[in-house]
Each structure stands twice: as C-alpha cells, then as structure tokens.
Amino acid sequence: MTVEQLAQCDGMCALACPAPEREICGVYIGDLLSWVMGRAEADNVWITIMSNVNIIAVAALADTACIILAEGVTLEPSVLETAMAKEINVLQSAKPIYETALLLHELC
C-alpha cells in the first residue's frame, strides 16, 4: 500500500503529502523522539501525538514512509512547510493511537 492510498482511507487526512507514491511496510508507535529515532525502521508508518518540528527530523533520519498524527493533532504551518521541504509525508487520524493502529492492521 502507498501513502497516497492510506491517506484516502476513512478516518485519515493528508496534512502534507510530498512523496505520495512511497510504499508502506510495518508500523512503529512512540512519542519519545530519541527512542523512535533508533527504533523506527525505513518505510514504517510512525504513529505519534508529538507535533513539534523535531518529528520531521526524526522521520527523515529513520526514513519512515509517513507520520500519522493521532487524536486529531495538527501541525503549525511552519512545521508543515518543513515537512514539504524535507519530503516527509504527514497524515492525521482523528482516532486515538490504539484505534489508529487497529485500522492500519486491517488495511496493511
């Protein structure tokens, strides 16, 4: 499944999608950025509730396919700009992390 296809699923909303064709493989969940940095794998979907600019850097380092902000968390316009500039996909889910993960389990 690609990030673009995921973004079109019910309950998902694309906040920034500069690399829509990226293939998704696996899921990582976490909010402690230094922890995620060393553990999320390339092409993972990363689910978090953190929204500062550092998440874009962590996603770039770990080379995740996309970030999903759970609980309807939004990004500041400046962070969205950074996401576009660094080609980091960011989706939003209105649901809590667990329900978002369940949805991904059904889809992938």
Asked if residues 59 and 28 have their Cβ atoms less than 8 Å apart, the reply is no
Query: Given the rule CB under 8 A, which of 1-9, 10-18, 51-59, 100-108 is the region that contacts other proteins?
Result: 51-59
35 lines the binding site for other proteins (CB under 8 A): yes
The encoded tokens of residue 20 equal 């829509």
Among 19, 26, 71, 86, binds other proteins (CB under 8 A): 86
CA dist 108 and 36 (Å) reads: 21
19 lines the binding site for other proteins (CB under 8 A): no
96 strand-pairing partners? none
57 lines the binding site for other proteins (CB under 8 A): yes
Count the Cβ atoms, other than its own, within 10 Å of residue 21: 9
Q: Minimum Å distance from CB 34 to other proteins?
A: 4
CA dist 60 and 66 (Å) reads: 10
80 lines the binding site for other proteins (CB under 8 A): no
CB-nearer residue toward other proteins: 2 or 51: 51
CA dist 15 and 38 (Å) reads: 25
For other proteins, the binding residues (CB under 8 A) are 32-35, 37, 52-54, 56-58, 60-61, 82, 86
